Amino acid sequence: MNLCDKVFRQIGNPLEWSSAKKANLLLWIYLVQQSIYQVWIEMAMRLPEFAGMIDLQQVAHHRVYFNSLLMLSAGLILLTRLAQTRNRQSVFYEYLATLYFGVSHVYYAYCVGLMSLPVGVVLAGAPVVGFIFFDRLAVASAFVISLVLVIGLSLASFMDVLPYAPLAQNLYQGDGRLSMGWQLTYMVFASPHLVFIFALAYYVLQRWRIREQEAMHLSRTDSLTGLVNRRHILSLLEQEKAACEKREMPLCLVMVDLDHFKSINDRWGHDVGDQVLIMAAMALKNTVRQLDHVGRYGGEEFLVILPGLEAEQARCLAERIRTTIAALVLELPDGESLSLSASLGMSCYTVSQIVTVDDLVKQADVALYKAKGTGRDRLVVAP
């Protein structure tokens, strides 16, 4: 197991987390980002390198709000953590976390410039990840409210009702370009958002991909035997027939039916019947070639696809399947032994023939019933 698999197993699938746990994760991520803002404001008040970049009076004034938001985030983390023991599925926590994340980010953006790189990163990236991870209406509501606030504050700054980027001084150079100090500051503010958005999106989409693969596997697999199910084995037959036609190769189909299976179920019960099916499926998988396909067709019937084999070669392989199953013995709890056998019907396609997949299945089925009707435990090949 590689490192990624270990992480996935430990964390689980975030798409299946409770609303409270999702909200808790968002708030923890946000607390880390706020801590970076807090470190920045403390450094700005103390280091001479920030001289001329910031308005110390405004920084001292807004420092109170920065501290308050940091404490509020810690409180909400505690709330959503406690909520995981009760009302954990309430979508309220997703509304609370996404709205708090969006609105408080607008405040931080206002302090350092609404038309800045960090604001663009959050407005563009956060909703994309949010729609994957959280309730869509919660994300949409938070995004719309935050966008309205951004537009409103921008208009207020444009009309000189509010100052633009009150914490900043000398934001632009004489030629109108953003100063180097503020370029670096914006990069520092934007980097955590980019890292978290990328990491969370990658993890969630990776888990999504794994879940889709698992769902596809389940839709194609017989849960008892582990073989492909009827729908998928017929789909594989269509594909193999098309490939054989294209390459001008023969194709053979073997239908396998376990003898007296109903009697086994009636006498020893369905648990023993299930063990018989599992043993037979394993025997089939171990007998055929790697490029062959084996599927459970239904009940005690199996379908084996043998691409590229001439009729005589396929007959030899089918006989090997029959003798392998005939050699199986199931030891029962009461000390009895249960021997198995199977009847087989085979049909073949050659390049000179014009047959459909349905024709091949019907021919194999007719041959199978002929095998069962003439004594069982034998192979009959369709003419």
**Nearest CA among 285, 360, 349 for reference residue 314:** 349
Residue with tokens 């109903």, as numbered in its chain: 262
Do residues 101 and 107 touch, judged by C-beta distance below 8 A? no
Do residues 309 and 224 touch, judged by C-beta distance below 8 A? no
155: which 2 tokens? Answer: 């208009």
Bridge partners for 329 per DSSP: 339
What percentage of the chain's residues is helix, strand, coil (to nearest 5)? 65, 10, 25
What whole-number distance in Å separates Cα of residue 21 and Cα of residue 89? 9
φ/ψ (deg, to 5) at 337:
-120, 135
Bridge partners for 54 per DSSP: 168
Do residues 281 and 322 touch, judged by C-beta distance below 8 A? no
CA angle centred on 109, ends 104 and 111, rounded to 5°: 100
What whole-number distance in Å separates Cα of residue 111 and Cα of residue 100? 17
Residue with tokens 């938070």, as numbered in its chain: 142
What whole-number distance in Å separates Cα of residue 240 and Cα of residue 42? 69
Count CA within 13 A, CB hemisphere, residue 263.
7
Catalytic residues: 300
Do residues 297 and 233 touch, judged by C-beta distance below 8 A? yes
215: which 2 tokens? Answer: 């769902």
371: which 2 tokens? Answer: 């095998």
Identity of the residue numbered 81 = R
